Structure 1
Amino acid sequence: MNQSMFIVWRESVEALLVIGILQAWISQQSQSHRLSKFLWSGVLLGLLLSGLLALLIMFAGDAMSGALNEWFQAGMALIASLLMVQMVGWMHRHGRSLKQDLQRHADQHLARRGGLGLMLLALLAVSREGSETVVFLYGAGARLRGPELGLFAVGGLLGLVLSALTIVLLHSSRRFISWRRFFALSEAVLLMLGAALLVSASERIGGQLLAMNLPEWVYGSVGDALWDSSHWLNDSHGIGGFLAGFAGYRATPSALTLAVWLGYWLLIAGWLRQRREEPLPCLG
């Protein structure tokens, strides 16, 4: 539930921010009423495109069974993890100039293609956020069944509500949290979620490796726990469960799980060190 709520919240805030910037730009144009129709047509088409992607992914998952389905879900979790890291990098590169870039692209599309160009810009922006949301949610919720899946869906709905409230809060007052702090905080959580999804993907891959005819040391590195910290911090409920869902914590990690988790954070640390002198996104 917490994972889905944060994913939908973060992606919806970015989508609403883009729509808000384009709507503000339209309000300054001479044909604002006509252009607004193109904008919202693009938003609707972007949502439909994201919904189509969701149906295709679910159909593909349902059509597969056994080992093939496990590999597919592992692949989706891996893609979701990589996309989260890519998103953080994209915001570092473009966050400061997002508003100016969108308005410049809107001017260019309007000059070249009229309202259809604006509709295309909105379609691409919304479908990008929507498709990322679909991949993230599938990667995070692929293992859930029954009541857990229901809570996961409720979390997504709460994320939508929270995103609207967040946009209102960020636009109405800077005393609580600025855009700069919002993106810095959400990027940190995205990186933790990326670790959790990567660990989930590695566990699925490890499960498939155990079914293969491989050397004994491979089985030991994949199936044997290095330690058991469940007596102090259980990963199935409470704080441990929260850390498991948001950061990839495991009370009984295998050598593979530990190597993947440590390798991820070492790479992230090196990447962040290269960018430590770059300013955080500032959207006004």
Structure 2
Amino acid sequence: MEVQALLITFREVLEALLIIGIINTYLLKTQNGKYKKYIWLGAGLAVVASIAVAFLFQVVFTGFAAMGSEIYLKIGIMLVSSILLTQMVFWMASHSKDIKKNMEGKMDKFISTGNVAGMIIHSFLVVLREGIETVFFFAAITGGDIGAALEGWGAITGALIAATLSYLLFKGTMSIPLKTFFKVTGVFIVLIAAGLFVQAISMMQDIKVIGSVVPHLYNLTWLLPEHPIDHAHFVRDTGLTPVFSGDIGIFLKALFGYSSMPSLEEVVAYLGYFLVIYLLINVKSTSAVPARAKQRSETQEKEAFHQTEKKKQNIVSDIN
């Protein structure tokens, strides 16, 4: 859980700080540093609002637990989190190169109209989005105990690493291609999303919401139990010791959704998830090629037009 919390917090905090950093850097570059306080005010209010959302979420979850229905809420959270995590990775991959341009364009509008409220609201919404996503993801990886994730070393470490990296990037002491960086971290986020999706399938089978054609497609308990309890039971029943400890299994289960005895449906869901990701990447890449070709064609047409106009002007000039 702590490693999941570290990766999620790191990613979410870094995205928020990068956008706030881009805005503040632009304000300084355009001699509008006086507006920085409004950007930080919006960001600060968003952090407070995110904490309030976490508290409200915990109250709602406690209410479901009192009614004995928390398992259904957990399943829903896991499924939605899996979708949101995947969407987050694709969104950042496609927008990382345009973030700077978009933020600067919005700041230009706010500065030209003196719209201080717009600056505050914009920075508030940017940070609040990341905050709400973090709350939701924490609920998914902890089974609803958001406080446990916030108090653990994973969330704190992730936030500190993100803050340090952002500081180094904007101070110019470190240079990292953001697109490559987000691709690498995106791989781990996608693995977490796949794990949450499969765990939701497993929980639905446990409470008989869905059935199973093959409850245990294979059994790797002898190699890597998914929990220390399974490790102990294997030793008790067979007198043998698994190759790897159940502590490793519980770590992999928390991080990637590992199961030593998965059902057929879990395996199909896991492989199907990555197949969908693969298809989405290929479709996106295929559609991007005509777009780039069209852009090149338009650029060439513009250049040809300018050259023709220039030649006309030269001819007119020679005649005169």
In which range does the TM-score fall when normalised by the shorter chain?
Answer: 0.7 to 0.9
Q: Deviations over 1:6-61 (max 9, x none)?
A: 1101111111101100111121344422x122111100111122112111211110
Decide whether aligned partners of structure 1 residues 2 and 253 sit closer, same or farther in structure 2, where only a CA change above 3 A counts. same
Q: Secondary structure at the match of 1:172?
A: coil
1:64-103 matches, cutoff 5 A: 64-65=64-65, 67-103=68-104
Between the aligned partners of 2:212 and 2:29, the Cα distance in structure 1 is 65
What secondary structure sits across from 1:27 in the alignment?
helix
Aligned equivalent of 2:258:
249
Residue 135 (structure 1) aligns with: 136
Kindly report which structure 2 residues correspond to 1:208-219, keeping only aligned pairs within 5 A, or say none.
208-209=207-208, 219=211
What SS does structure 1 have at the residue aligned with 2:152?
Answer: helix
For residues 237-262 of structure 1, give each alpha carbon's deviation from its aligned partner in whole angstroms, at most 9, with x where no partner exists: 45443432232221110122222212
Unmatched 5+ residue regions in structure 2? Answer: 228-245, 290-320
- Once the two structures are TM-superposed, the CA of residue 153 in structure 1 deviates from its matched residue by 1.9
- Deviating more after overlay: 36-45 vs 58-67: 58-67
Query: Cα deviations across residues 255-282 of structure 1 (Å, max 9, x unaligned)?
Result: 2222221221111111112234659xxx
Residue identity matched to 2:261:
T
Aligned to 2:21: 20
Inter-partner Cα distance in structure 1 for 2:225 and 2:181 = 30
C-alpha deviation, 1:100, in angstroms: 0.6
Paired residue for 1:282?
none
Instruction: Please tell me the residue identity of whatever aligns with 1:165.
Output: T
User: Counterpart in 1 of 2:181?
Assistant: 182
Letter in 2 for 1:225: H
Amino acid at match of 1:246: L
Pairs aligned (count): 266
- 1:229 and 2:228 equivalent? no
* Cα pair 1:229 1:252 within 8 Å, conserved: yes
Distance change in 2, residues 1:152/1:188 (3 Å): farther
Cα 1:178–1:3, aligned 2, differ >3 Å: closer, same or farther? same
**Normalised TM-score (structure 2):** 0.76
The answer to whether the Cα contact below 8 Å between 2:81 and 2:193 also exists between their aligned partners in 1 is: yes
1:112 deviates by 4.4
In 2: Cα distance, 1:151 partner to 1:130 partner: 12
**Deviation at residue 138 of structure 1 after TM alignment:** 0.8
Q: Which amino acid aligns with 1:68?
A: S
Deviation of residue 206 (structure 1)? 2.0
- Counting aligned pairs with the same residue, the percent is 26
Do the aligned partners of residues 251 and 145 (structure 1) sit closer, same or farther apart at CA in structure 2, a change above 3 Å counting? farther
Given that residues 141 and 152 in structure 1 are in contact (C-alpha distance below 8 angstroms), is that contact kept between their aligned partners in structure 2? no
Q: Any unmatched runs of 5+ in structure 1?
A: 211-217, 280-284
Counterpart amino acid of 1:205?
Answer: M
Quick one: distance in 1 between partners of 2:151 and 2:45?
Answer: 26
Calculate the TM-score normalised by the size of structure 1: 0.85
Q: Is the 8 A contact 2:75 2:200 kept in 1?
A: yes
Alignment match, 1:115? 116
Q: Do the aligned residues in 2 keep the contact of 1:45 with 1:123 (CA within 8 Å)?
A: yes
2:283 maps to what in 1?
274
Could you tell me which residue of structure 2 aligns to residue 215 of structure 1? none
Matched-pair contact (CA < 8 Å) for 1:2–1:155: yes
**C-alpha separation in 1, matches of 2:165 and 2:100:** 18
Equivalent position of 1:214 in the other structure? none
Q: Equivalent residue for 2:302?
A: none
CA distance in 2, matches of 1:29, 1:150: 40
Shift of 1:83: 0.5
Say if 1:162 and 1:242 are closer, same or farther in 2 by CA, change over 3 A: same
